[in-house]
Amino acid sequence: MRVHLRVLVLFFFLTMGAIGQESFKDKFENTKPGSILKFKVSFNDSLKNATELPIVIVKGKEEGKILTILAGVHGYEYPPIMAVQEFLGEIRPEDLKGSLIIIPISSTAAFYGRSVFVNPNDGVNLNNAFPGKENGTVTLQVADYITKNIIPLTDVFLDIHGGDASEDLLPFACYYNREGQPIATAMAKKLSE
């Protein structure tokens, strides 16, 4: 992956859960090895907000670990969004062992609305919305979907940020120091390094 970014913030953690809705899991399992599936999930809330979550599954020819990459949790942070587009243009599923789940723009309303930090529809910051809420506003529903459907399948979860419009960040990578999960924490540390 060629990444020419001045500012890049990475969060790693390894997930251990196993709960998920069948629909995403079925889509993942039904994607043929060595192929790519692109689709969107729609969300609506009681405030009449509507949003979509684009998802790309890159199913490697050989079975292996699953890496999820999340970009655009803050939709105004363009460098990670551009980086995953570039990455998707380069990756070849037939050469891949294991699979990728890529969410190229996690907060589409913030992206299209050029909104700093929050989804302009419901005013919620997706970065603070996890684990989400099934019957919440659209941003909470997006967080709930990712929490229930994608995190449980994922071995390594990478959430890429950049400096938002009001920020000037130094590049850094960080991971969660989960004392109850020493193996996962050690792997996340190694990946961060």
Q: Which residues bind Zn ion (CB under 5 A)?
A: 74, 77, 161
Nearer to Zn ion, 79 or 136 (CB): 79
What would the 3-class secondary structure string for the chain be? CCCCCCCCEEEEECCCCCCCCHHHHHHHHHCCCCEEEEEEEEEECCCCCEEEEEEEEEECCEEEEEEEEECCCCCCCHHHHHHHHHHHHHCCHHHCEEEEEEECCCCHHHHHHCCCCCCCCCCCCHHHCCCCCCCCCHHHHHHHHHHHHHHHHCCEEEEEECCCCCCCCCCEEEECCCCCCHHHHHHHHHHHC
What's the min distance (Å) between Cβ of 36 and Zn ion?
A: 26
Nearer to Zn ion, 7 or 56 (CB): 7
What's the min distance (Å) between Cβ of 161 and Zn ion?
A: 3
Q: Which residues contact 106 (CB under 8 A, 6 or more apart)?
A: 53, 70, 71, 72, 73, 75, 126, 142, 146
Nearer to Zn ion, 59 or 74 (CB): 74
What's the min distance (Å) between Cβ of 69 and Zn ion?
A: 14
What's the min distance (Å) between Cβ of 81 and Zn ion?
A: 11
Nearer to Zn ion, 77 or 122 (CB): 77
Nearer to Zn ion, 107 or 147 (CB): 107
What's the min distance (Å) between Cβ of 127 and Zn ion?
A: 6
